[in-house]
Amino acid sequence: MMADSSRTGRGDGVSAPDPGALDGEQVAVVGAGFGGLSAATHLAAAGADVTVYERHAEVGGVAGRIERDGFRIDTGPSWYLMPEVFERFFGRFGHSPDDFYETTHLDPHYRVFWKDGDQVDVPPGAEAAKQLFEAREDGAGEALDQYLDEAEEAYRIGMNRFVYQDRSRFRDMIDTDVMRSARGISLLGTMDDHVASYFDNPKLRQLVQYSLVFLGGSPHNTPALYNLMSHVDYNLGVFYPTGGIAAVVDAVEAVAREQGVTIQTDAEVTQIAATENGHELTVDGHSVAADRVVSNAPPSYVESELLPAGAVRRRPGYWDTRTYAPSAFLLYMGVEGTLDQLEHHTLVLPEDWNPHFESIFDDPAWPDDPAYYVSVPSRTDDEVAPDGHETVVVLVPIAPGLDDSPQRRDQFRQQVLDDIAKYTGADLRDRIVLEETACVSEFSERYHAPEGTALGMAHTLFQTGPLRPSHRAPGVDDLYYVGSYTNPGIGVPMTLIGGRHVSEAVVNDCRPRNGVKRLLNVPTGIPTPFSW
C-alpha cells in the first residue's frame, strides 16, 4: 500500500536535496540493484530527469527472485538487518516500511549447529544472549555486556560520522569532529585478536564473528572496527520482511517511480562515451544522451568493457590487486514436508572454521569441511511455499575465481546435502521438488562480478572508508559509482545509503554550473593516490 506522498518527514535528520537542485539534468543510471534504485530515487527527488537501464527482466540486481510452482525464493540477500536504515530511506520520501511490508522480529534470531553435535538457539535481546554466554563460560555474560557496549559505541560513531555522512575521500576526513570521533575507534588489529581478548570459548568467539561474512571478510582480515556488527545482531535485532527481500525491492522500486524515475528493464548498456556536453550511452544498439551517468555495475566491468581504453586514471592492474569478498555455492530448493530441525536462519559450523576461511582468502580451493548457512523463510512466512512444503536456500561461501565446472558443482552439492543430513538431521535429498543453483559462473556472467564474487569488495583494513574506490570515477567527469564496490560498502543497508551519497555528490558537482564548472570542487579528472 502506498502512503500519502504529501508527508514531509525525512526520517534521518538530514535534509533532502533542494527539489530544484538538479532541474534540467538528464541522469542515466546503469543497473537497478538497491544502490542504483536508491541513487535514482534521490536524484529524481532533487529534480533530475532520471532513467534507469537494467539489463535483466526485473529490478533488484543480485537481490533476485524465483517464483515457480507456488514457491517464492530470494536468490540474493535474505537477512533484514539495521531496520533504522530502511526507516530513514523511506522516511525521506514521506513513507515508512510498513506502508509496503510487515516485519517480524525473529525468535530465535538463528540456530547454530556445530559439527561436534552441539547446538544453540541465539535469542533476541542482549540480556537473553548474556545468559546464553554465561552458561557456556564463567564471566562470559559480563564480557558480552562490555563487548556490546563497545560495539554500540563503534556503531554510533561509525554510522553518524562515517556512514550517514559521506567520508569517501581523504579531504572529507579533515574535520575536527571526525578526528575527535576517530579516537574512539581502533582501526588496528583484527577481529580475531579483538574477540579473543573477551572470550576464551571458541564457539562464543564464533557467535560474535559469524556476521563478518556479511562484510565479505574473515576474522583474520577484517578490522576490529567491525565489532559494530554485534550491536546490529544482538541489540538491533534480526527481522524478516513479509514476502522476503523481494518485497523490499518492490517497495524501493515503487518509491523510485513515485519520484518520477523511469525504469527500463531488458535494456543493456554496452558502451559509455564522453561527449562535449556529457555522455552518450549505447543501450541495446541505440544511442542515449545523458548529462551524467551513475553506474551500479561493478566499476571494474565499466572501466574494462563500457568505457574507452585508458579513460579512467588508475594504475595498471588496480582491480586485479583488490581483495574480493567470497563467491558462493547456492542451492535454491522447494522441499516436500516440514523441516522442524531448522530455523528461519540456521548456521552449520565446524568447531575450527579457520581451514574454510583459508580456502577462501589464502589458498583458494573448494572447502573440505565447509561452514554454511541454511535459510528456510517458510518457517516464518507461509506465503513463500505451497502447503506441506518448505522453501530452502543453502549458501556456502567459497573463494572467488574457483573453477565451478558442472562436475565439481554436482560433487559439492552432494557433499553439502549429506552434510546437512548428518549434522542437522534434516535430510533433504529425496524431498526436493524444485531446485536451481548458482555459483561463481553465474555471478561473473549475470552480474559481471570480478572473479565471480557474490558480494563485492571485502572490508579489509585497506579497503575501508576512503581506501575504497571513490564515488567519482577518476579521470571521467560526470561518471559516478554506487554499490558494494564503493562507500559505505557491502550489504543492502549500505548500498541504500550509498545511493544518497552519490546524489549528494551529483548535486555538489552541479552547483558550479551557475559559474565556472567545478570551481568549488576538486576536478574528478585529478587522480588521487588511491586511484593509482
278-293 per-position pLDDT tens digit: 999 999 999 999 999 9
Residue 94 has pLDDT above 60, yes or no: yes
> Are both 45 and 56 inside the same structural domain?
yes
Residue 531 has pLDDT above 60, yes or no: no
8 A C-beta contact, residue 367 and residue 411: no
> Are both 271 and 340 inside the same structural domain?
no
pLDDT digits (tens, 9 = 90+) for 205-224: 999 999 887 778 888 888 88
8 A C-beta contact, residue 291 and residue 75: no
Q: With bands split at pLDDT 50, 70 and 90, how would you rate the model's confidence at 160? A: confident
Residue 170 has pLDDT above 70, yes or no: no
Give the domain CATH number at 273.
3.50.50.60
Residue 18 is assigned to a structural domain of this protein: no
Rounded mean pLDDT, 127-137: 97
Residue written as grid cell 562470559: 140
Residue 23 has pLDDT above 90, yes or no: yes
Please identify, among 401, 421, 450, the residue that sits at the C-terminal boundary of a domain: 450
pLDDT of residue 424: 98
pLDDT of residue 16: 55
Nearest alpha carbon to residue 208 among 221, 223, 220, 219: 219
Residue 275 has pLDDT above 60, yes or no: yes
pLDDT of residue 399: 97
pLDDT of residue 116: 97
Alpha carbons 122 and 389: distance in angstroms, whole number: 25
pTM of this prediction exceeds 0.85: yes
> Are both 35 and 94 inside the same structural domain?
yes
> Are both 367 and 434 inside the same structural domain?
yes
Q: Give residue 187's domain range.
A: 125-236
Q: With bands split at pLDDT 50, 70 and 90, how would you rate the model's confidence at 188? A: low
Average pLDDT value over all residues in the chain:
89
Pairing of strands 327-336, 432-438: antiparallel
Residue 133 is assigned to a structural domain of this protein: yes
pLDDT digits (tens, 9 = 90+) for 414-458: 999 999 999 999 999 999 999 999 999 999 999 999 999 999 999
Alpha carbons 467 and 132: distance in angstroms, whole number: 38
Residue 14 is assigned to a structural domain of this protein: no
Residue 495 has pLDDT above 90, yes or no: yes
Residue 256 has pLDDT above 90, yes or no: yes
Residue 422 is assigned to a structural domain of this protein: yes
What's the total number of domains in the chain?
Answer: 3
pLDDT of residue 164: 57
